[in-house]
Amino acid sequence: MATRSLIAKKNKDSTYTAVYCHFDGYEKGVGKVLREHYLDEAKIDLLLSKGGMSFLAETVEGTEFYTKRGEDLRVYENIQTHEELVEAAKNVGGEFVYVYNNGVWNSHKITW
């Protein structure tokens, strides 16, 4: 069974950009990979530009993006509030939201 999540970045204008991740959304999965391997903002921007993913790897190149399988690119852009970000996660069955802001990854467990 998948643990879905959204991976997001808070932009300079206070909006959010996010992508969907299907597998291993727990803190010990996606959370750990983000905190250990995605600390460079340019790398995070590249990751988000690639769209939704099946799973997150330690490198952007190793990540399984849906576009590699010919599926649609899905990037959530211009999300205005944290509440809208959580709602977007709920709409895809997400259990966690990870947000990069000012050099730090924060996580939010979705409650239903």
Q: What is the pLDDT of residues 40-59, one digit of tens each?
A: 999 999 999 999 999 999 99
Within 13 Å of residue 56, how many CA atoms lie on the same side as its CB? Answer: 33
Burial class (CB in 10 A: 0-12, 13-18, 19+), 86: middle
Quote the tokens at residue 4. Answer: 């879905």
Domain boundaries, the chain: 5-109
Q: What is the pLDDT of residues 60-102, one digit of tens each?
A: 999 999 987 777 778 889 999 999 999 999 999 999 999 999 9
Burial class (CB in 10 A: 0-12, 13-18, 19+), 32: middle
Task: Mark residue 47 as left, alpha or beta (left: phi above 0; alpha: psi -120 to 50; beta: remaining).
Answer: alpha
